[in-house]
Structure 1
Amino acid sequence: MAQQDDIAFVGEHRTITVEQGRFCVARCSCGWRGPARRARSLARTDAESHTTPPLA
């Protein structure tokens, strides 16, 4: 069974991490999906980068 960790909720973007075998993937409610990572911390960083607005 895949483990899910809630990461962030920003507006309509709700991101989670999903474990798939030896890898962890960040996913968002908008349909975005990050690359498969071996480290959960990197998947969480990917999710935070997706939900953080760029600096103007």
Structure 2
Amino acid sequence: MLSQDIPVSGPAPHQTTTTERGSFAVARCTCGWRGPARRSRERARTDARSHASTPRLDG
């Protein structure tokens, strides 16, 4: 299982990771968000970056 942290700057950033399960990659965030399972690792990383660029409302 591989995991990659996506760094984000800001006062209360989303902490996203991508995890592989078999032939699929999934992006997840500490706020509870989870992206769709993707066959493309890069697509999952893009999902994570896109989510991480949205402001957190809880903090």
Q: 2:44 is aligned with what amino acid?
A: A
- Matched residues, percent identical? 57
Unaligned runs of 5+ residues in structure 1 are none
Contact 2:13 2:52 in 1 (8 A): no
Matched, 1:42 2:46: no
Gaps of at least 5 residues in structure 2 are: none
What amino acid sits opposite 2:24 in the alignment?
Answer: F
SS at match of 1:34: coil
Secondary structure of 1:19 counterpart: strand
Give the RMSD, CA atoms, in angstroms.
Answer: 1.6
With the length of structure 1 as denominator, give the TM-score of the two structures. 0.82
Cα displacement (A) at 1:42: 0.3
Following superposition, which runs of at least 4 residues in structure 1 exceed 6 angstroms of deviation? none
The structure carrying a bigger strand percent of its residues is 1
Deviations 1:3-55 (CA, angstroms, capped at 9, x unpaired): 1011133424100000011000000011100000011110011011111138x
Q: Distance in 2 between matches of 1:20 and 1:5?
A: 13
**Given that residues 2 and 20 in structure 2 are in contact (C-alpha distance below 8 angstroms), is that contact kept between their aligned partners in structure 1?**
yes
* Matched residue SS, 2:20: strand
